Amino acid sequence: MNRDDFLPFALPSVSEDEIKEVVDTLRSGWWTTGAKTKKFEADFAKFVGASHAIAVNSATAGLHLALEAIGIGPGDKVITTTFTFTATAEVIRYLGADPLFVDIDPQTLNISVDQVEDALKNHPEVKAIMPVHFAGQACEMDELLALAEEYGVRLVEDAAHALPATYKGRRIGTLGDATVYSFYVTKTIATGEGGMVVTDDDAIAERVRVMRLHGISRDVFDRYTSDKPAWYYEVVAPGYKYNMTDIAASLGLHQLKRAEAFRQRRELMALRYDAAFSELPVRLPFVKRPDDIHAWHLYVLRLQTGELMIDRDRFIELMAERGIGTSVHFIPLHRHPYWRDTYQLDAADFPVAEQVFAECVSLPLFPAMSDADQQRVIEAATAILQDACG
């Protein structure tokens, strides 16, 4: 098959507005963190409805900064889900703390509230909970916030999938102590690489701002572009190099303006997939609160392999043979050698994640897809599944 005929799993959507803004930044001579990053931060805080938004160079960096800002350190434990990308857990290790993995809800695939509660009861060294809003659907935040308050722990949300999701009418980003979004190239809005830490806590925001750029007391933009340049600065902590550039922010400014249009397009495609696959041996994505906004970062089918003559891996191969890219979200962390061996994790302790992993496949779902592109996906998946029924 010609490579030009291959439909990838995901592609970013770019308009002339993003291109012009990037060109303007390049011509300005100021490419690093500056006025456009500040504008993106202000626009994002307003969009989410939070007091502070701090732009960083990745969501991984943002999660690291958020945990550092709430005081996570050696000997602490942070509860999180095994059904996530490794970045969610690795940032805990950056700080010398340890992740405490729990299983997921069998319907939403979000973190299991019951298992979070059990972990809190049995591990007094837990200092924080870090839920992941899987595929763009909000976790059970009321229950998680209640547990955080009851046990005196902090709550940092991994919202890499969740822009512009809501929970009971409130935008994700206004609920926990801090929330971190991702602008990786496949996410619901994209800056290539990038992320945003959102919080209503002034102390967290101040700490994140300082630590994202070497622990320096003043942003470089402030020091070099004011009417009276102030060359003097102070290093107040051993910080990191996590700042966002104005080049990336130039993309973010216009991607954010299109976030709702992107979401509507994704939702429409998700509904088309639902209708197309409703009579086939698959489980469709479960939407727990239809009145809330689902970001639809991912559309995850769960193959009913007991009714099929092929497994999930073969389904992916057959889709690729038909020129369609798919993915798997996620290989649970307890299956990866580092996490498994370091913490002596047993797959038997995560039965839901194990079952979902064997069944799940993410189909292409991005706004740049045409209706004809989606129809190709539907026809290919339908043909494969029907043939596999025997």
At residue 217, the pLDDT reads 84
CATH topology of domain 259-388: Aspartate Aminotransferase, domain 1 (3.90.1150)
Query: Could you tell me which of 264, 373, 285, 282 has the C-alpha nearest to residue 325?
Result: 373
N-term to C-term CA, the chain = 27
What's the pTM?
Answer: 0.96
User: Domains of the chain: which residue ranges?
Assistant: 16-257, 259-388
Distance between CA atoms of residues 128 and 323, nearest Å: 43
Alpha helices in 231-322 (DSSP H): 246-257, 259-277, 312-321
Q: What is the pLDDT along the chain (390 residues), one digit of tens a residue?
A: 555 799 999 999 999 999 999 999 999 999 999 999 999 999 999 999 999 999 999 999 999 999 999 999 999 999 999 999 999 999 999 999 999 999 999 999 999 999 999 999 999 999 999 999 999 999 999 999 999 999 999 999 999 999 999 999 999 999 999 999 999 999 999 999 999 999 999 999 999 999 999 999 876 666 555 555 677 889 999 999 999 999 999 999 999 999 999 999 999 999 999 999 999 999 999 999 999 999 999 999 999 999 999 999 999 999 999 999 999 999 999 999 999 999 999 999 999 999 999 999 999 999 999 999 999 999 999 999 999 997
Say whether domain 16-257 belongs to CATH 3.40.640.10.
yes
With H, G, I as helix, E, B as strand and everything else as coil, classify residue 360: strand
**325, 317 in Cβ contact below 8 A?**
no
Query: Could you tell me which of 56, 109, 128 has the C-alpha nearest to residue 297?
Result: 109
At residue 295, the pLDDT reads 98
Query: Could you tell me which of 184, 180, 240 has the C-alpha nearest to residue 214?
Result: 240
Annotated active-site positions, please?
A: 187
Distance between CA atoms of residues 315 and 383, nearest Å: 11
